Amino acid sequence: MMMCKPLFTLLAFSTLALSSCSSSEVEVMEGWPVLSERFHSATEPAQAKSVASLRVGGNSGADVIVEGRVRDISERSAFTLADMALTSCAAMDEPDHCSTPWDYCCEDPAALKLGTLIVEFTENEAPVKETARGFHGLDHLSEVVVTGKLTIDDLGNMSVAASKVYVRSE
């Protein structure tokens, strides 16, 4: 639980930065090294659960394997993982429908809230000073399988302190 406050502070900062930043503001956050290979899973873990199934049956503190698509991605060590059942604007039949298809703007906001969680790469319960962006091709809408420890706070917000990530779309 000690990790929750910094994680959700990072989430709030990341969401704000991603929703309102100009390209010059993004450049300020660049320069962090890409994640260390210790976080890479060369093989896809079996029996991954959906984000939605963790919402229903997940227990805080449990070791989990969860799959989804990268929604928002911080220039730091975190990203938002969206349930595979959610539809991004990129998957819609209308070409050029949205300039940011990874934001799932056409999804119902309630479904989006229930179908997402935060993934953060940590070491000794603190965020690593490395970026997840570009790690083995990890970017918006990449399909990934994350292994880590689940945290659910008192408000129902879910996060995973990631120990490994497998990127399907490498």
Give start and end residues of each alpha helix (H) in 41-165: 51-57, 109-114
Determine which of 9-18, 58-67, 71-80, 139-148 has the lowest per-residue pLDDT on average.
9-18
54-77 in b/e form (b: 16+ CB < 10 A) is: bbeebeeeeebbbbbbbbbbbbbb
- Give 140's Cβ-side CA count (13 Å radius): 13
Per-residue tokens: 87? 């539809």
Q: Please state, in angstroms and rounded to a whole number, the distance separating the CA atoms of residues 81 and 140.
A: 10
In the chain, the number of structural domains is: 1
The structure's pTM equals: 0.77
Residue 28 backbone phi and psi in degrees, to 5: -60, -35
- Indicate if the pLDDT at residue 128 is higher than 80: yes
Whether residue 19 is predicted with pLDDT greater than 50 in this model: the reply is no
CATH number at residue 158: 2.40.50.140
pLDDT of res. 90: 66
- Model confidence at 87, in pLDDT bands (50, 70, 90)? confident
Q: Quick one: average pLDDT of 32-40?
A: 94
